[in-house]
Amino acid sequence: MMSRPQSFIEGEAPDSQHAKSKRGSKVTTERVALLVLCILLAAALIMSFDKIRTNKQLENLKHHKMKCESNLTETLSKIKPCSTVQPTCPGPKVINDPCYICEEGWELHGGKCYYFSISQSSWKQSRDECRAKGGDLVKIESREEQTFLERRLRDVMTEAEDKFWIGLTDSAVEGRWVWVDGSPLNESLKFWSGKEPDNWKGHNGKHPDGEDCARMGEKGGAKDLNCWFDAFCSKPHRSICEKAGVKGQFKNVCKVSK
């Protein structure tokens, strides 16, 4: 009796085994592909979520930026520009540069402080009042200073005779005009009006000593600044006091509006 081939006895044919092997390999490949696809999908989802989260963060940042800009604009609108000079320090607006400061009621000009009195007194009393304030009757040392005073008096004079005593007198020696500090009148810096000084002695010689003190001012303005007049020293007039300004320094002053 003829025996079966070994391959039929022990199991399936070789082709059947090969086919089964191919099917197993195909299934494995599909699983791997599916796994890879799942991984890629998961990665895509993660990236998508990250992008959404990033976009949301960007929106939050933009909103915060707009809010900050709005607050900054509101704050800046309440801040006045920085002033580099204190109210009492006019002149070049340079930080840390020296300036001159005057007390309240005094006016600054050219490094000096001037006080234009309201009350009227004799020349001597006016000088005493100026000295009590730490100054003296004004000494005019330049044409520029005379210009300032002549123009300033136009604003404060109420009538033609509302003139102001200055620190000039010839009471010691007639015709020898000297300033309160003892210095003689500079012949190139005289601002007498018309035929002044005339040393008028009053009606019927009532004032034998004549006019020994100087006053100044022309309400309507003076031609070529000539507005000095000699007068009786006892006559009550307003006066111009003068003293040196106190040195200070410019500072930045920034004020916030309320």
Measure CA of the first residue to CA of the last residue in the chain; give whole Å: 123
Whole-number Å distance between alpha carbons of 16 and 23: 11
Q: What is the pLDDT of residue 205?
A: 77
Closest CA to 181 of 104, 120, 244: 244
Query: Are 83 and 253 within 8 A, CB to CB?
Result: yes
- Does 210 have pLDDT greater than 70? yes
Range with top average pLDDT, 17-21, 49-53, 70-74, 174-178: 174-178
Q: How many CB atoms sit inside 10 A of residue 31's CB?
A: 10
Residue 140 C-alpha from the chain's centroid:
32
Q: Which of 1-5, 79-83, 99-103, 159-163 has the highest mean pLDDT?
A: 159-163
For the domain spanning 98-247, the CATH number is 3.10.100.10
Residue with tokens 């070049």: 92
Q: What is the pLDDT of residue 76?
A: 60
Strands 238-244 and 112-116: antiparallel
Residue 242's Cβ-count burial label (10 Å; 0-12, 13-18, 19+) is buried
| Domain-wise residue ranges, the chain | 13-77, 98-247
The pLDDT score that the predictor gives to residue 83 is 45
